[in-house]
């Protein structure tokens, strides 16, 4: 699908780009299948699409950075930059453009900076190469650049190594490096996914500001449509190596034409509504458009998943039955220091909360605020430094290992990264049956096999999955396997640690729906950890906000979002990108 | 001055201590022999070897009963100048010899050579005993048996007749060292390992340990000139040597450069590329230099000279007479040992293991040594068929697996011990063939040298191939290998037979001669019929010399002949 | 290898196998390695080269394609006379012996002067000699040479297909037989080293703390002492010489490499979420160590194993050089190379070449295969 | 920093103690008895007892161990039993020749290894790359013994390019004349495994994101490899070089034996053959200490190369 409005004199024009990768001796895999789009001068174009849709590959092709030994660019492809066909240039000519006319910012700032050179040296390198500056000139210019991207105290930070900077600062350095030669085109490949929401917001503002100031064109790659509305003039939506929809940002966001675009816009839980069930991409792609209803999405079940017509009600009530009472939970880590000393690092400080039966407690906070540590400590995967956790009146943290063994059945955790939490050398069957064996669930092997199949069915996986290995499943399916493993023990409390953060929006919706269904069916209690406030708002009854190991605010979710008390909570909420 | 003539030589192993009292290997012996002097030495050309005087003025005057030796020293022999003597040369006296011999008994020094004089000299053993008690050797105490008549005259009183003392006095450990040097440079043991000061023709020059030793002429050495008679054995060759050397000053070669090269390949390549003038062509390399005992034509064409002699060394096999399996004097044990001896193909061993570099020897005293009998016929001839029958006859029956058992039905397993190196492996392989021929199972125990020596001394080895190199060219030095009182010393087969011991003691008191030879033959035969040991062969010593070397002839006893030869490089 | 691939967990191993299949170099290497292994099995079971110890050629018989050297007595063993002598077919000096015996026979021992010494076995010998003189030939010929090693009757050949060694053994057969020892030594020693290393590494990495300190202490001691000295020391402890000793020497000194890697893997894996998950469902420590973590690090062990096999096959040469080689009656490539050390300057290159080429071939194939295996098993490449 | 070094040195003590114990047990207790060699060929029980007494090996094990520890503490290992040479002198004089071969060898090997590894990594995946790697594998598969025998025979003897063996006095003579062929052989033996290893280090780095960044900046491929990649690959390379050096000291004994180089490796083998324990013990202890110090040095060098490394 081509852009509806061909531009007169675009800065970058991609025509019928086809890229395949070698796999095996003769086989090839098509990654990009005839993509065409344009980037006008001095404008921001967002390239959106789910993981693996070919966004990065396309942009790398522009830079000429595709792996030479495995990537094949079809000869019919054209990449015109300011009228010159990049694919026809020699390597040296290409290099002369890169970094000077076209610059790129990558997703992972930490790994994208060379760890053994100072940031100053890395920025100066571009200046000296392309601008022919002397060392002193380059240093002066570098200082200006660092200042421009908002690095505090550039005079000293210029000699810092990447590892001595925070993630946000590293990304700023990357940006400084990219704009050093005032390129005409800046490609930003998911520049904020590795960053916290608060920092993400700053970086986006920075890019927008620089774009204006330096009159650059920006090709902004992301999988999050939410971001797009804030920065982009034009939007291109990709899926499976093809362009699904392209056009001015307003138009695409307000009146999406393509089913897939619509899905991307609506699968994400919004802060404003809480549908009974989230829509999933399949709903849209099947060609059936769920109706928009009261800001949320509902659809009449016409052959697709029936969506409940009502919004859910969340919140705690006086008649909630407390299941887990945690008081003054703390956890410290120790680091060696000096001769004999050790430095204490308090990852969790005096955390207290109550989890009611059948309810969900959301835990939010930026990276490193101690969310995961709380979960692991409750399961005694870390040893608590203090505090108590009364489960049915018994202190989980004070039991002997033997006593706790019985409780392992009743409190379970789904880990942040589903793939990492499944033993890659076990089949799904082995994974599901192992806890049953340990806890003597089911009378015999045969019964356990039957139970395992029931579980697979419950989480929506085919029976054939039983024989297969985790690596043969997609991210969302793996998350379901992890959930099924927990369900095998029929726990009362389930800690979900960032269970959906690593997933594409569409898959995220499926998993959230599943968790919700299970709670409805079995009355599970969840401790739901996430840094994504929209998701937490959608699923949690109560929300606990953590900052540097301590709880800064705790309230019913609607209340919290409506009326945040703590300044930190307000900052978090303000950083959420909104559209519409 | 004319340029200094240089001889380049290769030693196959690293040198050890340069203190003659601690000499225990022949490589170091090369060096100490050049630096230190004994009273006597051997005539360069005479064969069979003949004692000659070195620092002594003449051969010793021996009393008729062989118990008193009168020795006169040449006056004007000097130690090389050294700070120990205030930087000046110091004259050698008989006191130096007496001191050097006493040193052998110093318990701190623990010399391995004290046996040379042990139990021989009147009063010396008592002094040694006393030193053992106190831990200190009293060098100033007089020894009645070492009567110093004046600075140059010494009379030795022996406890019993010994006609070979002259040869012992020619042996390297009996060389003179100076007391001042020992006292100045001696370490905690009183050993002077690295600072040799002697009276010899050469002195130590540059020295990189384990790699390179340079000897330089001792210019203060007493004047001597080359004057030898041809021997009867190879007169033609000797006359050539005499033509080349007669009347020349000793030494002609002013500098000896010795490099130490452990690996055979390196040594051979060094010699053939002209980096060495004299070369000891030992076993593994023999085929490269020799064919059928003669110099290969291509080498001969290059003018390379060969000097080949039979070393005064006996290689023999012994079976431990105290071992429960192979030892003992019972007939079935004798039969077992004889069968083994008869099944061993010595010729094959010479051909394959030694590359033909040995001569079959049936008598336990090798050629060139006083008492050797060239006409003696061995009893233990190679005859595996007979050997097998002998075993059958004595009830060493073959079991179902094809291996023989002892007559009482117990399994028969022989442990053959050899050294942990290539030659040891070859030897063991050959013996395995021998035992397999008999249907006897053999296992090879490979050990490091010290372990072998230990086990041997404790009579714990079952059987082994043993070599004995003459310390001095007298049959007594070989026959003592089987003397009962030498068990735990060097009678490694732990052989003890009253008849043999009686004959040995009788022979010990006899001067060399037909009477003693007759006794030796009986002793040899006795060893054979009891099959306690089986003489096997004597190794050849083949020396190659570059064309420039003049007057070279390998001496059987001397380690090296550097002072007797000359070199004339064409370039 | 294939057995392992299918036995374990088909999924990942099968994947690795597919990846291997696609690699032509790997498949050729695998074929070579398999051929060697097949040869090993055949020779170990005695189906081929059982007669390698037969002395079929003259000493240092040159290869057939080079042609015989002009006979000189130091290389050529005089071939047994065509009409094998009944008395003693083994004797190279048969003629002299026959002459001597003819002279001795009538009066048995009497002919040798005894110098008055009585022979306790005189009667036996006389009787046996008498019997020998009268009895037929055949019975005696079979009485001797029971161990089957000597290949007597037939004349020794002046050339052999790829030459002969000192004893006249066929070098090709010897190389095959030597390969058996070398490969077995390499495999078993590597297995031992990797097992030890894995066990120690697992305990150390998993438990950490005092256990880790303890093993690390051993590790640092073992790595601080140079390997040559370590080998000499272990060899000194294990007085008995034999193939088992070599295996122990190599195994006991070679565990440090696998230990370091496996320990690092365990440290990495024990905090992985799947292990935490296993902990959360109540899996025992033992089971976590060996049913959960081990399969995930087993590729490291496998790669280490194949690296060590190669290393050990080479190390055996040096051991032989240092005098800790195989016992007599056993042959290995190391002992062959060592034997052949001096043969090159004598112009006898065939034993050196045969052993060196066979070893190079196997080791190359094994290394290439290992490289491919490592790539195939590397989780990063997935 | 200083505190770190002191602590590391402190931590070496238990390891050193272990090394000492192991060496002591192995060589004193189960090794051969040197008295039987020193006693000569006419040894008897009495003379052996006397020698054992003179050597001090008749003392109880704890006493001997204590003496050993005192020797280590005072850096005085006494005299060689076989030659009477002071052990400290042995080590001091043999170290020079060893180093004359090993340092140039290590230097050349490292430089050549790096250059080739970068070159090969540059053409990674190509036919050249595969061919070079296969050639390396073949080269690695030949025993060093064969290399020495054949090279000495061919290059030194047949072609006469080098002396067959030998050692002189002047450093330059040794380095340029006698050490050349040993170094060459050492290089031939070690370059293949080194290249393979370094290539894998380089390839590990080439796959990193920062390389992509560097390319995105428009840097030339040469600068990317020699500056950005190399600096990062230097860390494993340093580890490899440093870890190998002490072991090489003894591991080069074959070269030393064949080429008559009076170095440490040959000395050790000789000492083992002669059961010369003072020498064995001293060399082992020194090499163990060197290994540990080199490990420390390696860590210190890490910090110089890699700012992420924090020595605490
Ligand atoms: C190049 C000269 C030499 C050659 C070719 C040579 C050869 C041999 C052979 C073939 C053996 C028999 C091996 C055995 O019995 O296991 C032997 C034994 C022996 N060698 Fe040498 N040797 C040489 C020089 C020396 C030197 C210089 C020493 C002095 C340390 C020495 C000390 C011994 C001793 C003590 C034995 C007897 C130990 C035993 O019975 O094994 N050899 N030698
Ligand atoms: N080097 C490569 N070799 C083989 N296939 C590749 C390679 N790089 C990318 N691909 C494939 O190309 C397709 C597109 O990848 P691309 O990285 O462009 O996705 P993306 O849209 O950037 O996704 P994400 O949001 O996860 O970054 C994917 O299927 C991927 O597997
Ligand atoms: N095993 C550990 N040892 C030392 N420090 C740790 C350990 N585990 C966590 N921490 C520290 O504790 C703090 C809290 O970590 P935690 O993983 O709980 O954060 P989080 O809120 O889950 O962050 P994220 O959103 O990134 O998952 C962090 O600063 C982290 O560095
Ligand atoms: Mg991407
Ligand atoms: Mg977390």
Domain membership of residue A312 (yes or no) is no
Taking CB atoms and an 8 Å cutoff, what residues of chain C touch B402? 146-148
In this prediction, residue C196 carries a pLDDT of 94
Return the residue in A98, A104, A114, A221 with the most chain D beta carbons within 10 A, the one to mutate for interface testing. A114
Asked if A244 and A373 sit in the same domain, the reply is no
In this prediction, residue C74 carries a pLDDT of 43
Q: What residue's CA is closest to ligand 3, atom 19?
A: A368
Sequence-distant (6+) residues with CB within 8 A of B233 are B47
Strand A217-222 to A185-189 pairing:
parallel
Architecture in CATH of C171-356:
Orthogonal Bundle (1.10)
Asked if A153 and A16 sit in the same domain, the reply is no
Asked if A391 and A490 sit in the same domain, the reply is yes
Taking CB atoms and an 8 Å cutoff, what residues of chain A touch C278? 423, 434
What is the C-alpha separation between A369 and A365, in angstroms, rounded? Answer: 6
Sequence-distant (6+) residues with CB within 8 A of A85 are A78, A79
Locate tokens 């170094």: which residue?
D183
Locate tokens 């070269």: which residue?
D255
In this prediction, residue C136 carries a pLDDT of 46
* Ligand (nearest to CA of A51): 2
Structure tokens at C325: 């080689």
Domain membership of residue A120 (yes or no) is yes
**Average model confidence (pLDDT) across chain C:** 76
In this prediction, residue B34 carries a pLDDT of 93
Closest Cα to residue C206, out of C292, C143, C121, C303? C292
Question: Which of A182, A203, A220 is the C-terminal boundary of a domain?
Answer: A182
Environment class of A76 (CB within 10 Å of its CB; exposed 0-12, middle 13-18, buried 19+): exposed
C97 has a pLDDT exceeding 70: no
A268 φ/ψ angles, rounded to the nearest 5 degrees: -75, 130
DSSP C155: P
DSSP lists the bridge partners of residue A85 as: A80
Binned at pLDDT 50, 70 and 90, residue C170 comes out as confident
DSSP C275: H
Taking CB atoms and an 8 Å cutoff, what residues of chain D touch C364? 134, 137-138, 140-141
What is the C-alpha separation between D261 and D253, in angstroms, rounded? Answer: 9
pLDDT, tens only, B54-102: 999 999 999 988 899 999 999 989 999 999 998 888 999 999 999 999 9
Helix or strand run (H / E) with residue A39: strand A28-39
pLDDT, tens only, B437-475: 999 999 888 887 778 888 888 888 999 999 898 888 899
Please tell me whether residue B518 adopts helix, strand or coil conformation.
Answer: helix
In this prediction, residue B169 carries a pLDDT of 92
Closest partner residue to D262 among B209, B272, B468, by Cβ? Answer: B209
Asked if A436 and A343 sit in the same domain, the reply is yes
Which range among A54-68, A124-138, B361-375, C223-237 shows the weakest confidence by mean pLDDT?
C223-237
In this prediction, residue A3 carries a pLDDT of 44
Q: Report the residue among A19, A48, A55 best suited for mutation to probe ligand 2: largest number of ligand atoms under 8 A from its CB.
A: A55
Please tell me whether residue A311 adopts helix, strand or coil conformation.
Answer: strand
Q: What is the mean pLDDT of residues B115-138?
A: 89
Domain membership of residue A358 (yes or no) is yes
Closest Cα to residue B265, out of A490, C234, C347, C296? C347
In this prediction, residue B261 carries a pLDDT of 86
Asked if A409 and A474 sit in the same domain, the reply is yes
What stretch(es) of chain D map to CATH 1.10.3720.10? 88-305
C203 has a pLDDT exceeding 70: yes
Closest partner residue to C225 among D142, D150, D288, by Cβ? Answer: D288
What is the C-alpha separation between C78 and C320, in angstroms, rounded? Answer: 32
Asked if A484 and A375 sit in the same domain, the reply is yes
Measure D234 CA to nearest chain B CA, in Å: 38
Query: Percent of chain B at pLDDT above 70?
Result: 100
In this prediction, residue B304 carries a pLDDT of 92
Query: Which residue of chain B comes nearest to D264, CA vs CA?
Result: B210
Whether B148 has its CB under 8 Å from any CB of chain D: the answer is no
In this prediction, residue B204 carries a pLDDT of 93
* Contact indicator for B403, B443 with CB cutoff of 8 Å: no
Please measure the distance between the N-terminal and C-terminal CA atoms of chain D and give it in whole angstroms. Answer: 8
What is the C-alpha separation between A63 and B35, in angstroms, rounded? Answer: 82
* Contact indicator for A520, A358 with CB cutoff of 8 Å: no
Query: Which residue of chain C comes nearest to B283, CA vs CA?
Result: C342
Asked if A175 and A202 sit in the same domain, the reply is no
In this prediction, residue B258 carries a pLDDT of 92
Question: Under the phi-then-psi rule, with left for phi > 0, alpha for psi from -120 to 50, and beta for the rest, what region is D80?
Answer: beta
Number of domains in chain A: 3
Question: Which of A205, A222, A254 is the C-terminal boundary of a domain?
Answer: A254
Closest Cα to residue D273, out of C224, C341, B447, C249? B447
Whether B401 has its CB under 8 Å from any CB of chain C: the answer is no
What is the C-alpha separation between D243 and D247, in angstroms, rounded? Answer: 8
What is the C-alpha separation between B298 and B300, in angstroms, rounded? Answer: 5
Question: Which of A209, A232, A254 is the C-terminal boundary of a domain?
Answer: A254
Interior angle at CA B291, CA B288 and CA B294, nearest 5: 110
> For chain A (length 580 residues), average pLDDT per consecutive 10?
57 88 75 87 87 85 82 86 85 85 84 86 88 88 86 85 82 86 87 77 84 87 80 87 86 83 79 75 66 40 45 76 90 70 82 91 87 90 89 87 87 83 86 89 88 88 85 80 88 87 77 87 90 85 90 88 87 70
Asked if A342 and A484 sit in the same domain, the reply is yes
Asked if A162 and A195 sit in the same domain, the reply is no
C5 has a pLDDT exceeding 50: no
Are C226 and D141 within 8 A, CB to CB? no
Sequence-distant (6+) residues with CB within 8 A of B100 are B20, B21, B174, B175, B176, B177
Q: How many residues does chain D have?
A: 312
Structure tokens at B39: 């009273």
Q: Report the residue among A55, A57, A221 best suited for mutation to probe ligand 2: largest number of ligand atoms under 8 A from its CB.
A: A57
**Average model confidence (pLDDT) across chain B:** 89
Task: Mark out chain C residues that contact chain A at CB-CB < 8 A.
Answer: 9, 11-12, 22, 272-274, 276-283, 292, 295-296, 379, 382
What is the C-alpha separation between A19 and A35, in angstroms, rounded? Answer: 9
What is the C-alpha separation between A575 and A226, in angstroms, rounded? Answer: 12
Interior angle at CA A131, CA A128 and CA A133, nearest 5: 50
In this prediction, residue C108 carries a pLDDT of 46
Are C281 and A434 within 8 A, CB to CB? yes
Give me the residues near ligand 5 (ion), CB cutoff below 5 Å: A 372
Please tell me whether residue C80 adopts helix, strand or coil conformation.
Answer: coil
Q: What residue's CA is closest to ligand 1, atom 36?
A: B467
- The residues of chain D scoring below 70 in pLDDT are 1, 29-32, 310-312
Query: Which residue of chain A comes nearest to D220, CA vs CA?
Result: A95
In this prediction, residue B136 carries a pLDDT of 87
Q: A535 lies in which domain range? A: 322-575
Closest partner residue to C296 among A381, A421, A424, by Cβ? Answer: A424
Q: Report the residue among A196, A369, A496, A528 best suited for mutation to probe ligand 3: largest number of ligand atoms under 8 A from its CB.
A: A369
Q: How many residues does chain B have?
A: 571
In this prediction, residue D5 carries a pLDDT of 81
pLDDT, tens only, B518-556: 999 999 999 998 999 999 999 999 999 999 999 999 998
* Contact indicator for A456, A465 with CB cutoff of 8 Å: yes
Query: Which residue of chain C comes nearest to B287, CA vs CA?
Result: C346
Query: Which residue of chain C comes nearest to D19, CA vs CA?
Result: C221
**Could you report the predicted ipTM of this complex, rounded to two decimals?**
0.79
Question: Under the phi-then-psi rule, with left for phi > 0, alpha for psi from -120 to 50, and beta for the rest, what region is B295?
Answer: beta
Binned at pLDDT 50, 70 and 90, residue B509 comes out as confident
Alpha helices in B394-497 (DSSP H): 422-438, 449-457, 476-479
Structure tokens at B176: 């003179």
- HEC per residue, B184-223: HHCCCCCCCCCCCCCCCCEEEEEEECCCEEEEEECCCCCC
Locate tokens 């053939």: which residue?
B272
What is the C-alpha separation between B194 and B187, in angstroms, rounded? Answer: 10
Measure A133 CA to nearest chain C CA, in Å: 40
Q: Find the farthest-apart pair of alpha carbons in chain D and give their distance in angstroms, rounded.
A: 84
Whether C357 has its CB under 8 Å from any CB of chain D: the answer is no
B153 φ/ψ angles, rounded to the nearest 5 degrees: -130, 135
Q: Which atom of ligand 1 is nearest to the CA of B16?
A: 30
What is the C-alpha separation between A76 and A79, in angstroms, rounded? Answer: 10
DSSP C109: G
* Contact indicator for B496, B459 with CB cutoff of 8 Å: no
C238 has a pLDDT exceeding 80: no
Q: Is the dihedral of CA C63, C64, C69, C71 positive or negative?
A: positive
Measure C38 CA to nearest chain B CA, in Å: 28
Instruction: Calculate the alpha carbon distances from C208 to A384, B525, C203, C215, D243 in Å.
Output: 19, 73, 8, 10, 24
Taking CB atoms and an 8 Å cutoff, what residues of chain A touch C272? 420
Measure B202 CA to nearest chain C CA, in Å: 34
Q: Which atom of ligand 2 is nearest to the CA of A22?
A: 4
What is the C-alpha separation between B522 and B500, in angstroms, rounded? Answer: 9
What is the C-alpha separation between C367 and C40, in angstroms, rounded? Answer: 18
In this prediction, residue A7 carries a pLDDT of 60
> Cα–chain-centroid distance for residue B514?
24
* Ligand (nearest to CA of B30): 1
Q: Which residues line ligand 3 (CB under 6 A)?
A: A 333, 345, 347, 365, 367-373, 531
Q: Do chains C and B touch (3 or more CB pairs under 8 A)?
A: yes
What is the C-alpha separation between B495 and B456, in angstroms, rounded? Answer: 12
Q: Which CATH number fits domain D88-305: 3.40.980.10, 1.10.3720.10, 3.40.47.10, 1.10.150.650?
A: 1.10.3720.10
Taking CB atoms and an 8 Å cutoff, what residues of chain B touch C342? 264-265, 284-285
Locate tokens 């008849």: which residue?
B499
**Which position has the higher pLDDT, C48 or A359?**
A359
**Which position has the higher pLDDT, A317 or B13?**
B13
DSSP letters for D148-167: HHHHIIIIIIIS-SS-SS--
* Contact indicator for B69, B158 with CB cutoff of 8 Å: yes
Q: What is the mean pLDDT of residues C148-165?
A: 65
Whether C4 has its CB under 8 Å from any CB of chain D: the answer is no
């Amino acid at each position: 699908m081509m852009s509806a409005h061909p531009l007169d004199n675009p800065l970058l024009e991609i025509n019928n780009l086809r890229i395949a990768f070698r796999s095996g001796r003769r086989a090839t895999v098509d990654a990009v299948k005839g993509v065409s789009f344009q980037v006008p001068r001095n404008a921001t174009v967002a390239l959106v699409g789910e993981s693996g849709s070919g966004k990065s590959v396309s942009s790398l092709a522009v830079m000429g950075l595709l792996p030479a030994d495995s990537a094949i660019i079809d000869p019919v492809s054209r990449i015109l930059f300011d009228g010159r066909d990049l694919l026809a240039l020699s390597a040296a000519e290409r290099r002369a453009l890169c970094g000077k006319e076209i610059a790129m910012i990558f997703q992972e700032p930490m790994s994208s900076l060379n760890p053994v050179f100072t940031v100053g040296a890395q920025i100066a390198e571009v200046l000296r190469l392309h601008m022919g500056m002397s060392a002193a000139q380059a240093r002066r210019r570098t200082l200006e650049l660092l200042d421009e991207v908002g690095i505090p105290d550039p005079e000293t930070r210029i000699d810092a190594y990447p590892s001595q900077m925070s993630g946000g600062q590293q990304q700023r350095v990357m940006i400084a490096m990219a704009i050093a030669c005032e390129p005409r085109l800046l490609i930003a490949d998911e520049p904020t996914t590795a960053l916290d929401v608060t920092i993400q917001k700053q970086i986006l503002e920075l890019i927008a500001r620089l774009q204006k100031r330096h009159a650059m064109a920006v090709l902004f790659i992301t999988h999050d449509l939410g971001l797009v509305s804030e920065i982009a003039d034009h939007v291109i939506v990709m899926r499976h190596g093809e362009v699904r929809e392209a056009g001015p940002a307003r138009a695409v966001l307000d009146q999406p034409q393509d089913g897939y675009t619509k899905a991307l816009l609506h699968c994400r839980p919004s802060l404003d509504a809480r549908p009974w069930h989230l829509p999933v991409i399949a709903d849209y792609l099947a060609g059936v458009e769920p109706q928009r209803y009261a800001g949320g999405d509902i659809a009449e079940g016409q052959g697709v998943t029936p969506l409940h017509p009502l919004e859910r009600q969340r919140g705690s009530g006086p008649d909630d039955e407390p299941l887990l009472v945690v008081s003054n939970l703390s956890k410290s880590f120790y680091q060696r220091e000096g001769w004999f000393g050790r430095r204490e690092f308090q990852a969790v400080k005096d955390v207290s909360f109550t989890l009611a039966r059948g309810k969900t407690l959301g835990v939010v906070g930026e990276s490193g605020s101690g969310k995961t540590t709380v979960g692991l400590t409750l399961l005694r995967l870390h040893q608590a430094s203090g505090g108590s956790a009364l489960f049915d009146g018994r202190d989980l943290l004070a039991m002997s290992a033997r006593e706790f063994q019985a409780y392992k059945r009743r409190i379970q955790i789904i880990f942040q990264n589903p793939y990492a939490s499944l033993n890659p050398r076990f089949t799904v069957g082995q994974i599901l049956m192992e806890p049953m064996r340990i806890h003597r669930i089911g009378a015999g092997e045969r019964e356990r096999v039957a139970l395992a199949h029931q579980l697979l069915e419950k989480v929506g996986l085919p029976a054939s999955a039983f024989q297969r290995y985790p690596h043969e499943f997609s991210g969302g399916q793996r998350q379901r396997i992890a959930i099924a493993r927990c369900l095998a023990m029929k726990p009362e409390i389930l800690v979900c640690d960032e269970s959906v953060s690593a997933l594409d929006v569409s898959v995220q919706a499926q998993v959230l729906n599943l968790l919700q269904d299970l709670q409805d069916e079995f009355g599970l209690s969840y401790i739901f950890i996430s840094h994504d406030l929209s998701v937490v708002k959608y699923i949690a009854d109560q929300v606990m906000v953590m900052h540097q190991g301590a709880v800064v605010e705790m309230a019913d979710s609607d209340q919290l979002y409506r009326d945040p008390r703590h300044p930190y909570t307000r900052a978090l909420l303000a950083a959420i990108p909104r559209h519409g | 001055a004319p340029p200094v003539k240089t001889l380049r030589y290769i030693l196959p192993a690293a040198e050890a201590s340069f203190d003659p009292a601690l000499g225990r290997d022949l490589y170091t012996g090369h060096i100490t022999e050049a630096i230190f002097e004994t009273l006597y030495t051997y005539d360069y050309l005479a064969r069979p070897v003949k004692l000659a005087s070195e620092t002594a003025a003449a051969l010793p005057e021996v009393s008729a009963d062989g118990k008193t030796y009168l020795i006169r020293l040449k006056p004007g022999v000097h130690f090389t100048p050294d700070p120990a003597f205030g930087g000046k040369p110091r004259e050698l006296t008989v006191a130096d010899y007496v001191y050097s011999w006493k040193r052998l008994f110093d318990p701190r020094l623990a010399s391995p050579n004290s046996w040379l004089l042990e139990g021989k000299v009147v009063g010396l053993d008592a002094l040694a005993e006393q030193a053992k008690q106190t831990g200190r050797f009293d060098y100033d105490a007089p020894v009645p048996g070492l009567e110093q008549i004046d600075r140059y005259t010494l009379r030795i009183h022996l406890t019993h007749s010994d006609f070979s003392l002259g040869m012992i006095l020619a042996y390297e450990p009996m060389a003179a060292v100076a007391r001042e040097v020992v006292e100045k440079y001696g370490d905690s043991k009183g050993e002077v390992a690295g600072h040799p000061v002697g009276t010899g023709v050469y002195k130590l020059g540059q020295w990189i340990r384990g790699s390179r030793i340079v000897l330089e002429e001792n210019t203060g050495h007493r004047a001597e000139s080359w004057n030898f008679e041809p021997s009867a054995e190879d007169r033609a060759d000797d006359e050539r040597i005499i033509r080349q050397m007669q009347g020349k000053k000793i030494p002609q070669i002013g500098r000896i450069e010795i490099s130490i090269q452990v690996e055979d390949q390196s040594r051979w390549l060094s010699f053939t590329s002209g980096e060495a003038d004299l070369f000891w062509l030992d076993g593994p390399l023999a085929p490269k230099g020799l064919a059928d005992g003669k110099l290969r034509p291509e080498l001969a064409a290059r003018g390379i000279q060969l000097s080949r002699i039979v070393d005064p060394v006996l290689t023999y096999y012994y079976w431990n007479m105290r071992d429960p399996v192979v030892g003992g004097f019972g007939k079935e044990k004798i039969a077992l040992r004889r069968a083994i001896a008869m099944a061993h193909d010595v010729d094959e061993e010479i051909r394959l293991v030694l590359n033909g570099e040995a001569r079959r020897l049936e008598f336990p005293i090798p050629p060139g040594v006083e008492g050797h009998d060239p006409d003696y016929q061995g009893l233990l001839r190679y005859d595996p068929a007979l050997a097998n029958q002998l075993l059958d006859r004595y009830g060493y029956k073959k079991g179902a697996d094809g291996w023989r058992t002892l007559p009482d039905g117990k399994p028969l397993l022989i442990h053959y011990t050899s050294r942990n190196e290539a030659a040891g492996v070859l030897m063991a392989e050959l013996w395995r063939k021998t035992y397999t021929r008999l249907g006897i199972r053999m296992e090879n125990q490979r050990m490091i040298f010290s372990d072998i020596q230990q086990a041997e001394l404790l009579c714990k080895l079952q059987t082994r191939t043993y070599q004995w190199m003459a310390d001095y060219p007298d049959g007594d030095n070989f026959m003592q290998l089987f003397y009962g009182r030498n068990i735990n010393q060097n009678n490694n087969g732990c052989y003890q037979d009253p008849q043999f011991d009686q004959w040995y003691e009788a022979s010990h008191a006899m001067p060399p001669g037909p009477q003693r030879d007759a006794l030796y033959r009986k002793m040899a035969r006795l060893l054979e019929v009891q099959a306690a040991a089986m003489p096997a062969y004597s190794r050849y010593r083949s020396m190659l010399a570059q064309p420039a070397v003049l007057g070279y002839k390998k001496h059987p006893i001397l380690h090296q002949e550097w002072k007797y030869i000359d070199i004339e490089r064409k370039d | 290898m294939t057995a392992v691939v299918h036995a374990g967990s088909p999924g990942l191993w099968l994947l690795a196998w597919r990846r291997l299949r696609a690699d032509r170099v790997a498949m050729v290497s695998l074929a070579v390695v398999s051929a060697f292994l097949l040869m090993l099995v055949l020779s170990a079971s005695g189906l081929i080269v059982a007669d390698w110890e037969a002395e079929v050629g003259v000493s240092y018989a040159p290869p057939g394609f080079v042609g015989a050297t002009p006979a000189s007595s130091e290389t050529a063993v005089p071939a047994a006379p065509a009409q094998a002598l009944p008395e003693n077919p083994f004797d190279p000096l048969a003629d002299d012996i026959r002459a001597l015996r003819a002279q001795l026979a009538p009066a048995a021992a009497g002919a040798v002067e005894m110098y008055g010494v009585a022979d306790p076995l005189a009667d036996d010998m006389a009787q046996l000699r008498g019997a020998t003189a009268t009895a037929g030939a055949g019975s005696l010929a079979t009485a001797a040479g029971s161990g089957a090693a000597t290949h007597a009757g037939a004349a020794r050949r002046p050339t052999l297909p790829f030459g002969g060694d000192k004893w006249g053994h066929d070098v090709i057969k010897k190389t095959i037989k030597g390969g058996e020892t070398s490969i077995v030594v390499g495999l078993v020693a590597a297995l031992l080293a990797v097992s030890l290393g894995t066990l120690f590494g697992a305990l150390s990495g998993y438990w950490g703390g005092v256990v880790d300190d303890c093993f690390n202490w051993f590790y640092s001691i073992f790595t601080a002492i140079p390997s040559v000295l370590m080998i000499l020391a272990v060899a000194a402890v294990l007085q008995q010489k034999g193939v088992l000793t070599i295996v122990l020497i190599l195994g006991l000194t070679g565990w440090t490499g696998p230990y370091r890697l496996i320990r690092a893997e365990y440290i990495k894996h024990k905090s992985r979420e799947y292990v935490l998950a296993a902990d959360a469902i109540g899996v025992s420590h033992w089971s976590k160590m060996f049913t959960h973590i081990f399969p995930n690090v087993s590729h490291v062990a496998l790669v280490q194993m194949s690296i060590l096999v190669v290393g050990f096959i080479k190390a055996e040469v040096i051991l032989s050089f240092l005098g800790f080689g195989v016992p007599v009656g056993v042959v290995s490539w190391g002992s062959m190379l060592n034997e052949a050390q001096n043969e090159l300057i004598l112009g006898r290159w065939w034993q050196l070449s045969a052993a060196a080429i066979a070893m190079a071939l196997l080791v190359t194939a094994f290394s290439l295969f290992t490289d491919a295996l490592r790539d195939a098993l590397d989780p990063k490449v997935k | 920093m200083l505190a770190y070094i002191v602590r590391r040195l402190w931590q070496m003590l238990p390891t050193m103690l272990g090394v000492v114990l192991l060496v002591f047990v192995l060589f004193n207790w189960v090794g051969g008895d040197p008295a039987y060699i020193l006693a000569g060929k006419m040894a008897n029980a009495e003379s052996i007892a006397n020698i054992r007494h003179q050597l001090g090996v008749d003392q109880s094990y704890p006493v001997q161990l204590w003496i050993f520890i005192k020797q280590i503490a005072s850096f005085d290992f006494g005299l060689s039993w076989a030659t009477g040479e002071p052990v400290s002198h042995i080590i001091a004089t043999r170290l020079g020749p060893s180093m004359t071969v090993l340092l140039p060898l290590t230097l050349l090997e490292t430089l050549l290894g790096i250059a080739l590894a970068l070159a090969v990594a540059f053409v990674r995946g190509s036919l050249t790359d595969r061919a070079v790697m296969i050639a390396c594998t073949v080269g690695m598969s030949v025993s060093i013994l064969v290399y020495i025998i054949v090279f000495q025979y061919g290059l030194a003897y047949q072609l006469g390019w080098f002396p067959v063996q030998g050692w002189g006095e002047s450093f330059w003579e040794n380095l340029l004349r006698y050490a050349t062929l040993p170094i060459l052989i050492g290089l031939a033996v070690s370059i293949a495994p080194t290249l393979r290893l370094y290539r894998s280090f380089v390839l590990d780095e080439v796959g990193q994101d920062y390389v992509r960044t560097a390319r995105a900046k428009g840097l030339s491929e040469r600068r990317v490899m020699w500056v950005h990649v190399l600096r990062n690959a230097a860390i494993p390379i340093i580890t490899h070089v440093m870890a190998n050096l002490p072991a090489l000291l003894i591991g080069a004994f074959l070269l030393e034996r064949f080429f008559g180089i009076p170095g440490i490796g040959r000395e050790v083998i000789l000492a083992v053959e002669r059961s010369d324990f003072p020498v064995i013990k001293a060399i082992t202890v020194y090499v163990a200490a060197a290994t540990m110090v080199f490990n420390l040095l390696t860590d210190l060098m890490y910090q110089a190369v890699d700012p992420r490394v924090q020595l605490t």
